[in-house]
Amino acid sequence: MKAYKWLILLVLILVISGCSSWGVKPWERDFLAQQKMQLIAEPVEMGLDDHIYFSKEGSSGGRSFGGGGCGCN
C-alpha cells in the first residue's frame, strides 16, 4: 500500500515540476472550451452515479464533494 501512495505522489510532483513546458496559448483553447472536454462533463450523471456508489460501496468522493449525505451507508 505504501508503494502506491509514493508512486502517485511522485507522478503529481513530476506534473507540477514539468508544467512550465506544457500548456496552450490563449488562442488554442477551442477544444478545451467545449462542454464534452470539461473534467466533469456531465454533472447530473455524476451526481446520480456518486449517490448509487456511496449507497452500495464503502468508498466515496475523491473527485469532488458536496451535495449532501443520506442514511444509506
Partner 1 sequence: MTKKLDKSKAPLGSTLAAIGCALLQGLPNQVQAGELEKWDVDAAALIYSESDSRVQAAEPVISATRNFDSETKLNLKLVLDTLTGASPNGALPSDQPQTFTRPSGNGSYTTPAGELPLDDTFRDTRVAASADWSAPLSRDWLYSVGGHFSSEHDYLSMGTNASLSRYLNQKNTTLTLAGGASLDTISPEGGLPVGLSPMAVKGSTGFSSDFAASRSGSEDNKQVTDLLLGVTQVINRRTLMQFNYSLNLADGYLTDPYKLVSVLDQPGGTTQEYRYESRPDSRIKQALFGQVKYQLGSGDVADLSYRYQFDDWGLNSHTLEFKYRWDLGRHYLEPQVRWYTQSAVDFYQPYALESQVNAGLDEVTADYRLGDFDAWTLGIRYGYQVSATQEAYTRLSLYQQTTGDFSSATTPASGDDIPDTTAVMWILGYKF
**Contact positions toward partner 1, by CB under 8 A?**
1, 4-5, 8-9, 11-12, 15-16, 19-20, 22-26, 28-32, 34, 36-37, 39, 41, 43-45, 47-48, 51-53, 56-71, 73
DSSP 9-61: HHHHHHHHHHGGG----GGG-TTTTSGGGSTTS-HHHHHHHHHHHHHHSS---
Shortest Cβ distance from residue 57 to partner 1 (Å)? Answer: 6
Shortest Cβ distance from residue 3 to partner 1 (Å)? Answer: 11
